[in-house]
Structure 1
Amino acid sequence: MQGTIFGFTEAQITEFGMTYGVGGLMLLMIFIVGHLAWESKVGKFGTFVLFLGLTFGMVGYIAKYFIQHYMKI
């Protein structure tokens, strides 16, 4: 059991965190942007612009996950 934390290796903990931890934080960010749009009453176009601008960085991370899954890396 040496080199493990609660029976998990470092690689397993990293894989779990990068998959579910970052995914959960991305979901939280979507809710925060939605709440920001609702509180500021920006309308449909303003909400679209907020989501486009503030969540565009997630597209690359999500694309990376699907590319890895498709290429079986």
Structure 2
Amino acid sequence: MFGFSEEQIAGFGLTFGVGAFMLYMVFIIGQLAWESKAGKFGTFVLFLALGLGMLGFVAKFVIQWLLTP
């Protein structure tokens, strides 16, 4: 399709699709902190606990980028 292989399309979808979903999750975490009136420390804990999985995905992407010749 448009000169791209299935692998390239899947890689694009994984990178940008999941990245967009992660940005949406950041918005949800911020909204949760706002509605619960968590304060500065509570907001920090929410972002730390709920955002840790997103950090792993970003680290995987960066490691793959660094190791690709």
TM-score of the two chains, using structure 2 as the length reference: 0.90
Q: 2:30 is aligned with what amino acid?
A: G
Which residue does the alignment assign to 1:51? 47
Task: Give the CA RMSD over aligned residues.
Answer: 1.2
In structure 2, list runs of 5 or more residues that go unmatched: none
Q: How many residues align?
A: 68
The Cα shift of 1:59 comes to: 1.1
Structure 2: distance between partners of 1:55 and 1:17: 21
Structure 2: distance between partners of 1:44 and 1:59: 20
Structure 2: distance between partners of 1:39 and 1:54: 16
Structure number with the higher helix fraction is 2
Which residue does the alignment assign to 1:37? 33
Q: 2:21 is aligned with what amino acid?
A: L
Structure whose alpha-carbon radius of gyration is higher: 1
Which residue does the alignment assign to 2:15? 19
Higher relative contact order (CA 8 A, sep 6+): 2
Following TM superposition, the consecutive aligned residue runs of length 4 or more in structure 1 with deviations greater than 2 angstroms are 6-9
In structure 1, list runs of 5 or more residues that go unmatched: 1-5
